[in-house]
Structure 1
Amino acid sequence: MRGEILKIAELRVHGFGKWKDFSISPAANKVNLLIGENEAGKSTLYQFILFMLFGLSPKQREFYLPKSGGALGGRILLKTEDYGDVWVERLHDRYNGRAVCRLESGEEREEEWLHHLLGSTDRKVYESIFSFSADDLLRLQNLTGDELGEVLLNIGLTGSDQIYQTEKWLEKHMDERFKPKGKKPEINEQIERVERWHQKKLAVENDEEDYERLQKEKEEWIQDLEQIEKNATENINRLHRTQQILKTRPVLVQYHQMKEEAESLDSSLIFPESGIERCQQMKEAILPLESEKKMLANNHDEWQRKLEELREELDHEEEEKARLLLNKKTDYDQDANESIQLTKQAERTREQLQKDLNHMDVPIEEDDLDDYPLPFYIEETWRDLRSEWNNVNREEEHLHEQELDIGREFEKIEAQQASIEHEQISEEQVRVYERQIEDAYQSATAPSDRQIRTSRADMIKRRKTGAAGAVGALVLGLIFQSFLPGIEVVLLTILATVVFAVLAYKSHITLQAHTNSQGTQKDDHVSYQNLDKARNQLQKYEKRKTELEHLHDQWRQLNQEEIRLEEKRNHLNQRKLRFESAKAEQESLYPFLKSLKIDYWEKLYHLLTQAREKRVEHHRIVQDLELHQARSNTIIEEMEGFYHRNNWEFYKRNVELHWRALMSWLNEQDKKREQCKQIKESLHELTRQAKENEMKLQTYINKREDLFYEAGVTTEGDFYQKARQVEEKDRTLYVLKDLEQQLKGMLSEEEQEEFGVWERVADESDLQARLDHIKKEKQHLEEKRSKAQQSLADIHSSISRLENSEERSEITHRFQMEKERLQEQAKEWAKYRVALQILRKTKQTYKKKYLPQVMSVAETHFLKLTKGNYSQIRLLPESERIIVGHHDGTIYSPEELSRGTRDQLYVAFRLALGETMAESMRLPFLVDDAFVHFDQTRLQVMSEILEEVSTRHQVILFSWRSDLPSLFQSPQVQELQ
Structure 2
Amino acid sequence: MIIRKLVIYGFGKHENVTIDLQDGINVLYGHNEAGKTTIQQFLLHILFGFPQKNHVLQRYEPKTGGKYGGQVHFDDPEWGSCIVERVRGKSAGTVTVLFEDGSTGGEEALQQLLRHYDRSSFESIFSFSLLQLQGFEKMDEEQLSRTLLASGTTGVVALLQLESKLEKEMGELFKRNGRVPEMNVRLAELRELEKALKEEREQADEYAPAINRMMAIDRNLVELKDDERDLEQQRKLIETQRQTLPLIEKERGLLARLEQLSVRKFPTDGIRRYEIINGKLLDILARRQVLQNELEKLNSAGEMRDQQFLPRLDRLVARETEWHQWRSDKRAASEEMRLLDTKRERYFASLGIRDDEKAALLLEADVSIQQEKTMLTLLDQLHQQTKQVDYVQRQLAQTASEERTIMQDKLRLDELAPTEEEQKKCADWPGVQRRLAEAKAFLQLKDTPAGNQRIVPFALLLMAVLLAGVGIVSQQWTLAICGVLIGAVATFLVVKTRSGNPSDAKRKEMEQFIAQHAEEEAQMDALIHRVDSYLRKKEALESSLLAVKRNRKSYEEELRMADNRTDLAADELFTFLQAYGFDELPSLQIIPEIFRMIRELQEVDRELFAAQQRDQNASRKLAECMDEAHSLLEKEVPEESLYDHLRNEWMLQKEQMEKKKTDAEKQLRLQEELELVNQTAAMLQSQKEELLSEADATTEEEFYRAFDVFQDAELVSRQLDDLQSQLRMHDRSNWPTDLSINELEEAARQVENRLTEVTKQQSDLLEEKVRLAHLTKRLADNETYERMLQQFENKRAEFASLARQWSSKKAVAAAIRQTMAELKEKKLPGVLRQASHYFSDLTGGRYVGLTVGEEGFFRAIRQEDNMLFPIMELSQATKEQAYISLRLALAESLHGTAPFPIIMDDPFVHFDGTRLSRMIKLLKRLQAEHQFIYFTCHETMTKHLHEANIITVSEIGSNQGAVLQ
Larger-gyration structure (1/2): 1
The TM-score normalised by the length of structure 1 is 0.35
The TM-score normalised by the length of structure 2 is 0.35
